[in-house]
């Protein structure tokens, strides 16, 4: 019996995943910086763009055999889904019992776990581009400062997290534009910097 292998071509999902990260960090940092108030309009973007868009991008990166994109987009997409759920718990959407038993230090352990993952991913960006290395370094700083803030190591860490998150958003928008335009025009239009390790 003859068997046929069918290869299905899919577009590079990286611009979508990067856009999801850029939007959610932009709106979340606006709240941390005190530019906006509350979490009501942070939640939809955390769940849909930060969570679902990045997770969808990760599934297609698995098809592209892109271990970095698949791992990063899945991990960070699930992070934002988890954060959205955590905010809903804190706001009392699942009842007063859960809301009254919130312990921010548990999120602190999550942040430190993601810091470790981000350090590993940052090392791999040494073979990618300077823009990606900068982006991942900022993400490491964000998770470290969020963890220290969760363990009440000083209010200054909240400010560090806020500015790091805004910097992540701006860097991600640039990296997304560079990736999308290079794919669309089949040439590099925006400089992302040569990798540290060739």
Asked if residue 29 is part of any domain, the answer here is: yes
Q: Do residues 32 and 172 touch, judged by C-beta distance below 8 A?
A: no
User: Which domain CATH number covers 69?
Assistant: 1.25.40
Q: Token pair for residue 161?
A: 């997290």
Q: Is residue 194 part of a domain?
A: no
Report the candidate in 185, 193, 143 with the shortest Cα–Cα distance to residue 25: 143
Scanning the structure block, which residue is given the tokens 């679902």? 52
HSE (CB half, 13 Å, CA atoms) of 54? 29
Q: What is the pTM of this model?
A: 0.94
Determine, yes or no, domain membership for 8: no
Domain span including residue 122: 14-92+102-185
Residue at 36 is within a domain:
yes
Residue 8, pLDDT > 70, answer no
User: Would you say 18 and 169 are in contact if contact means Cβ atoms under 8 Å apart?
Assistant: no
Domain count of the fold of the chain:
1
Radius of gyration, alpha carbons of the chain: 18
Looking at every residue in the chain, the average pLDDT score rounds to: 95
pLDDT of 7: 62
The answer to whether residue 161 is domain-embedded is yes
State the Cα–Cα distance between residues 79 and 108, nearest whole angstrom: 13
What was the pLDDT predicted at 10?
86
In a domain, 30, yes or no: yes
**What would the pLDDT profile of 61-110 be if each residue is shown by its tens digit?**
999 999 999 999 999 999 999 999 999 999 999 999 999 999 999 999 99
168 by Cβ neighbours in 10 Å (0-12 / 13-18 / 19+) ranks as buried
Percent of residues, the chain, with pLDDT higher than 90: 94
pLDDT tens-digit map of 155-180 = 999 999 999 999 999 999 999 999 99
Roughly what angle, to the nearest 10 degrees, separates helices 67-90 and 54-63? 160
Residue 192 lies in a domain: no
Q: 33 by DSSP, 3-state: which? A: coil
Residue 180 lies in a domain: yes
């Amino acid at each position: 019996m003859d068997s046929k292998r069918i290869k299905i071509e899919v577009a590079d999902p990286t611009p979508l995943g990067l856009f999801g990260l850029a939007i959610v960090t932009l709106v979340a940092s606006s709240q941390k910086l005190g530019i906006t108030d509350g979490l009501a309009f942070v939640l939809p973007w955390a769940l849909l763009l930060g969570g679902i868009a990045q997770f969808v991008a990760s599934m297609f990166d698995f098809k592209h055999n892109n271990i970095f994109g698949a791992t990063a987009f899945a991990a960070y997409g699930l992070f934002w889904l988890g954060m959205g759920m955590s905010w809903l718990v804190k706001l009392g959407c699942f009842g007063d019992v859960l809301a009254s038993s919130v312990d921010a230090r548990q999120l602190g352990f999550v942040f430190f776990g993601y810091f470790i993952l981000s350090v590993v991913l940052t090392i791999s960006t040494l073979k990618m581009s300077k823009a990606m290395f900068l982006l991942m370094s900022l993400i490491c700083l964000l998770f470290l400062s969020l963890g220290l803030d969760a363990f009440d190591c000083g209010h200054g860490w909240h400010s560090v997290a806020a500015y790091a998150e805004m910097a992540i958003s701006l860097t991600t928008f640039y990296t997304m534009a560079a990736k999308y335009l290079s794919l669309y025009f089949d040439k590099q239009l925006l400089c992302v910097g040569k990798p540290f390790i060739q």
